[in-house]
Structure 1
Amino acid sequence: MKTENTPRRVMFVINSLGYGGAERALTNILATRPKHTDGTSDEIHLVLLDTLPDARPVPPDVILHRLNGRGSLIRSMLQLRQITAKIRPAIMIALLLRANLATAIVGRMLHIPTIICERMHVSSHLAQKYRGVRRRLFSRLPRIGYSFSTHILAVSRGVADDMVEQHSANPSKLSIINNPFDLARIRADGAAASSVPNIPARFAIAIGRLEPAKNMKLAIDAFLAAKLDFPLMILGEGSLRPALQHYIEQQQAQDRIILASYQDNPFATLAKAQFYISASRNEGFPNAMMEAMILGIPVIATDCPSGPAEIAGVESADPTAPVTLAPYAIIVPMDRQDALTSAITQICKADLNQHYRAQSLLRAEDFTLEKIGAHYWRKIEQIAQSARRRSTK
């Protein structure tokens, strides 16, 4: 706890510092922590549950602790309890499912307030990943975290609704805060030369893990059906790479679909695209879509749960039309190749393309590092203060 001479200890918990969106959001939050009115800052501890290579840097004054959870919830929870009892933070904040569960349970055991951050649409994620008994079993786990935590932060309205309606989260202890983005850094990185060999002068782009949830085959089929005179470039890695590469060869489309690898600086390629395509079946908050908009790239996205429609400025796609020209992006129904092809054809029209370039830049201003980071730290302060008042009664 913070006294006159001791900085308040704040602990963040996450599985590792990989390339994912949650990891990027965490490092952005850490970079925006404010000073107190007396000029001091919190003492920040970051606990990584697994011993894995880091893909994200953290501020140099953050105290890093590496556990050896090996992907196990039980091991992670036991080791987290040990280090938390030693540090005695004033509050714990967790991101990602295993970290959320371990933190909520340890916080309850040690009487430390906790905030868990839900980054994904849990129901659609579990439906994609599990079946039968395993799905029913795993669907119970988030409820434990939601019930044991002091507060819950959802990354989008759709994620929050799913938590309440399907997983019994208490709406009175739930808030919505979107992901923060460092607009200046993304745009600076976008100005660099692309590392993709022989990059074409014109191309469309899709970015994401090559896994079923991202539905890259639909993006490929819809793009090929549009019969454009420039290719679609896909940046990503995943288990479906061999199958997608084989499918592209089957379609004799090697000159129209470029299956590039993940890039250390994807923004240098993204910034040069004609438009961005997301064919996802589920998202929490679609970071790559937002990053395209930050770079002024027009966006086409499926109306999946959840996030794309919210970012585009509508509640959902128009059910009476295959293509919804939303205020900030074009939205189409999920798994509709005809609708996605129609949207691709429309975005190639010069006036509509320019319109959505301007709207992308306008929308990006709602997700700046400064605005969203401040929301996170205000919520952390609010929950910590409330817990301290309760403990002194």
Structure 2
Amino acid sequence: MKYSTRPAVFIINSLEGGGAERVMVKLLTIMEPYFSERKIPVHLVLLDDLPESHQCPEYVNKKVLRSQGSLIEGYKQLKSVLEKLNPEYAFSFLTRSNFLNVALSKKLGFKSIISERVNTTSHLSGGIKDTVSRLLVRLLYNKAERVVAVSEGVKADLIENYAVPENKVSVLYNPYDIENLKLLASENVTDLPRKPYVIGVGRLVKNKNFSLLIKAYAKANVSEDLVILGVGDEESSLKTLADEQGVSTRVHFLGFKSNPYPYVNGAEYFISTSNAEGFPNAIVEAMCLEKSVIATNCESGPAEILAEKYPYQVSGVSQEKNGILCEMNNVQGVCDALKLFESEALRTSYAAKSGSCAQQFSYHAFQEKVAAIIDKVCK
């Protein structure tokens, strides 16, 4: 097969401290042999000039724009960059980057590959801005050459609610370097909380629903403390809630950690009470560290991982193949799950299942799938 040596361009809003940003950097790192062998120049374009929590690989040419979150400014600035680069294709992460990728691909004549990292319907469920975004998803996503969904649930949502043809959608689970995660988890940190504790990790925003976790934790009255890693605009209200629930001395907000793995590794188990996920990185990373998991059955990802079923419904709390699933927004369900994990035997059993389940998310499998997606678009 003859490969084009026109550049490959990757686009994302920024390299701030989030799951999509981390996966973009992992993708570029994992795919270096693929691009090197084919002598394809690779460029990463960041739409916004923001502090970076993730390091772009050295072989990638990075360009930082100053669109300041504006779709119009992003269009103008990105158009100028892509006109000069003349890529064979552009591969984008996150909604705003995806909009611009598809729109400019039609204008400039390159191929667009877009990756949806969240369940669109759950994620864009707010006011007028989200309504406009959902309309743009419906108008633009089906015009991409390829749509890459991070889970079966995200794929189903795009097909059923946004008119994306099924034959255009590929599912690509996030990649995990299990040995490196274990190495990072062994690093010494100076602010590990006293043991025993349980842990939740994520941005302190409404969608992650840490308020549900705090209420259930207070109700369950388990012996372990609760550690929460992350920052966000709900931090103050969550601390107030912990105080109101009488658990402020037992709930520890430790902020954002560039290496969260020692904290996860020290926990008895991991818990996620999110309202929506694209694919729950934090859950799989905890499983890579052989931690048993409790998760709400949100769209999308937890049921695919813990029950190995999709679509799937639970009522209250349910012990599944690889972990415990709870009904969304059900304080009693999460409380009951916490009480179940008072059994050390059950935690130990699920920890072993976590380690076994995590093996399917290897770097090698990820590289093969990404290569297949690119090769299909560029054939």
TM-score by length of 2: 0.95
| 1:100 and 2:114 matched | no
- Measure how far apart 1:203 and its partner are: 0.3
Q: Which residue of 2 aligns with 1:391?
A: none
Match of 2:330 among 324, 328, 336: 336
Q: Structure 1 residues 59 and 248 mapped into 2: Cα distance closer, same or farther (>3 Å)?
A: same
Shift of 1:232: 0.8
Q: Describe how 1:146-295 pairs up with structure 2 within 5 A.
A: 146-196=141-191, 199-295=193-289
**Residue 79, structure 1, aligned to residue 85, structure 2:** no
Amino acid aligned to 2:296: T
The corresponding residue for 1:389 is: none
Inter-CA distance 236–341: structure 2 relative to 1 (3 Å threshold): same
Change (3 A) 1:134 1:332: same
Aligned residues of 2:11 and 2:97 also touching (Cα < 8 A): yes
Tell me what 1:373 maps to.
367
1:318–1:324 contact (8 Å) kept in structure 2: no
Q: Which runs of 5+ in 1 are unaligned?
A: 386-393
Structure 1: distance between partners of 2:279 and 2:120: 12
Alpha-carbon distance in 2 for matches of 1:140, 1:318: 28
Aligned to 2:134: 139
Partner Cα distance (2:44, 2:337) in 1: 43
Instruction: Tell me the CA shift for residue 20 of structure 1.
Output: 0.9
2:16/2:51 contact within 8 Å kept: yes
Is the CA contact (8 Å cut-off) linking 1:235 and 1:262 kept in structure 2? yes
Q: Match of 1:92, SS?
A: strand
Mapped partners of 1:374, 1:172: distance in 2:
19
How many residues were matched structurally? 377
Deviation at 1:66, TM superposition (A): 1.2
CA contact (8 A) 1:94 1:115 kept: yes
| SS of equivalent to 2:371 | helix
Secondary structure of 1:301's aligned partner: strand
Residues 218-270 of structure 1 deviation map (CA, whole Å, 9 limit, x = unaligned): 11111122212221111111111111111222233123211221112110100
1-structure distance, mates of 2:119, 2:286: 21
Distance in 2, matches of 1:56 and 1:47, equals 14
Q: d(CA) in 2 for partners of 1:160 and 1:324?
A: 25
Segments of 5+ residues of structure 2 without an aligned counterpart are none
1:337-383 Cα shifts (integer Å, max 9, x gaps): 11111111112212111111111111111112221132112211221
- Counterpart CA distance in 1 for 2:141 and 2:300 is 19
Offset from partner CA, 1:153-178 (integer Å, 9 cap, x none): 00011111111111111112111111
CA deviation profile, 1:193-221 (whole Å, cap 9, x unmatched): 23425x11210001111111111111111
User: Residue 376 of structure 2 aligns with which residue?
Assistant: 382
In structure 2, distance between residues paired with 1:294 and 1:29? 18
1:304 pairs with 2:298 = yes
Equivalent position amino acid for 1:361 in 2? G
Aligned partner of 1:112 in structure 2 is 110
1:60 and 2:54 equivalent?
no
In structure 2, what is the Cα distance between the partners aligned to 1:15 and 1:38? 25
Secondary structure at the aligned position of 1:366 is classed as: coil
Aligned partner (choices 353, 358, 376) of residue 359 of structure 1: 353
What amino acid does structure 2 have at the position aligned with 1:369?
Y
Code of the residue aligned with 1:332 in structure 2: it is: C
Listed one character per residue, the Cα deviations across residues 271-300 of structure 1 (whole Å, up to 9, x for unaligned) are: 110011111111111111111111111000
Q: Verify the 8 A CA contact 1:154 1:174 in the aligned structure 2.
A: yes
User: Does the Cα contact within 8 Å between 1:7 and 1:42 map onto a contact in 2?
Assistant: yes
Q: CA RMSD in A?
A: 1.8
Q: Is the 8 A contact 1:214 1:281 kept in 2?
A: yes
What is the distance in 2 between the residues matched to 1:267 and 1:36? 29
Assess, with a 3 A threshold, how the Cα gap between structure 1 residues 318 and 157 changes in structure 2: closer, same or farther: closer
| Aligned-residue offset at 1:120 | 0.7
The Cα offsets for residues 32-76 of structure 1, whole Å up to 9 and x where unpaired, read as: 115469944421111111111221112111111111111111111
- Once the two structures are superposed, residues 116-173 of structure 1 have per-residue CA deviations (whole angstroms, 9 ceiling, x without a partner) of 000011111111xx23x44432310112331321110000111111111111111121
Distance 1:222 1:229 in 2: 13
Q: Give the stretch that moved more between structures: 147-156 or 92-101.
A: 147-156
Aligned to 2:49, the other structure's residue is in SS state coil
Q: Contact 1:207–1:234 at 8 Å: present in 2 too?
A: yes
Identity %: 30
| TM-score normalised by L of structure 1 | 0.92
1:46 corresponds in structure 2 to 44
Would you say the 8 A contact 2:35–2:41 is kept in 1?
Answer: no
Q: Secondary structure at the match of 1:367?
A: coil
